[in-house]
Amino acid sequence: AEMQKFHGLPQTGEFDDATIEIMKKPRCANPDKVSVKTNLKRKKRYVTVGSPWQKQLITYSINNFTPKLGKKLTHEAIDNAFKVWSSFVPLQFDKVDASQNPDIVTFFAEGFHNDNTNFDGVGGYLAHAFYPGSGIGGDTHFDGAEPWTLHQGPNKGNDLFLVAVHELGHALGLQHSPDVKAIMAPVYKYHDTKNFVLPQDDILGIQSLYGKPAATQPTISSIPEPSPPKLCELSNYDAISFLRKELYIFKGKYMWRRKRGKTSFSGPLMISSFWPQLKNGVDAVYENPTSNKIVFFKDHLFWEFRGTELLPQSPRHVRHIGMQNGKVDAAVWWQRNGKTYFFKGNKYWVFNNWE
């Protein structure tokens, strides 16, 4: 009867047709917490595991792909599933290589795959995920035998994007919800993937664990903005580099630029007037003319731009360039060998560019 109650069925306590029909449907392999007391008259039906991630930057890897979709569409589906959750919480998801010890490892497997839940072939269990924690915590596994599809409608296989959104809900700390409209309902149900909207129950659940994302609107302060510094009065700079054939100097939230053939600088200008994502200044910057990329560093993150256009996956952690933590003091691309040099304290790293 508890299982029937959880799935919104008449509580007969018998294996009637409706109960058997629910049991036959494809579903998540994570167990339902049927012992959780839920008042189905309340708007709040979500169930949390109580142990969210204790950090805001969470890394993930996609270790393989399903040949039914191919690598590109597999990555697209899982990447977009992460974006769904990041829209409603103050978390940043950073895709990294599997060798970089990511927090959340995703992969496809069949049958036994070295955890406590074997996959059962086509139908039945579609996937499972582990709740937040070290080691296998957060890892998300998909049954490779399933007929995976993407944006093909309700009657053609199992949509990988929808299943990934559900499983990542577990990886972030949500259990199954008795709300049949929720993405965290245990039984697979098709939603419009091209115009997907996360159901309200799921939004309330994830925000109960992590809160709402930071407000994007600027706050009004009664404290006046300090006057911009004068370039000739600065004793040091945060960063200096040639970008798009112009010399740029950065200090705090401001920058100055000098065009080729000119003897004076224009500025100060707000850095965010060119690159809105860089509201708090920069630590280092360089341009790689061969790829036409400008790369900015601040603290442990870096942003890639093409001109003033932010490129996908930005910002990312400096682990992507082989550095573990902390900020980069300076960076320079050397034309002679096409490599980039990063400086931190009395050490430097040489980076073989990906382009």
Check whether the bond before 132 is cis (ω within 30° of 0): no
Is 355 noted as a catalytic residue in this protein?
no
Instruction: Let me know: does 42 contact 78? Beta carbons within 8 Å.
Output: no
139 annotated ligand-binding residue: yes
111 annotated ligand-binding residue: no
184 annotated ligand-binding residue: yes
75 annotated ligand-binding residue: no
Contacts of 328 (CB under 8 A, 6+ apart): 283, 284, 297, 302, 318, 342, 343, 344
From 14, 21, 76, 167, active-site residue: 167
d(CA 240, CA 247): 7
Check whether the bond before 31 is cis (ω within 30° of 0): no
283 annotated ligand-binding residue: yes
Cα–Cα distance list, 179 to 136, 182, 200, 291 (Å): 28, 5, 10, 49
320 annotated ligand-binding residue: no
240 annotated ligand-binding residue: yes
Q: Is residue 290 exposed (0-12), middle (13-18) or buried (19+ Cβ within 10 Å)?
A: exposed
144 annotated ligand-binding residue: no
28 annotated ligand-binding residue: yes
176 annotated ligand-binding residue: yes
Query: So which residues are the catalytic ones?
Result: 167
Residues contributing to the annotated binding site for Zn(2+): 28, 113, 115, 128, 141, 166, 170, 176, 184
Residues contributing to the annotated binding site for Ca(2+): 103, 120-121, 137, 139, 143, 146, 238, 240, 283, 331
Residues contributing to the annotated binding site: 28, 103, 113, 115, 120-121, 128, 137, 139, 141, 143, 146, 166, 170, 176, 184, 238, 240, 283, 331
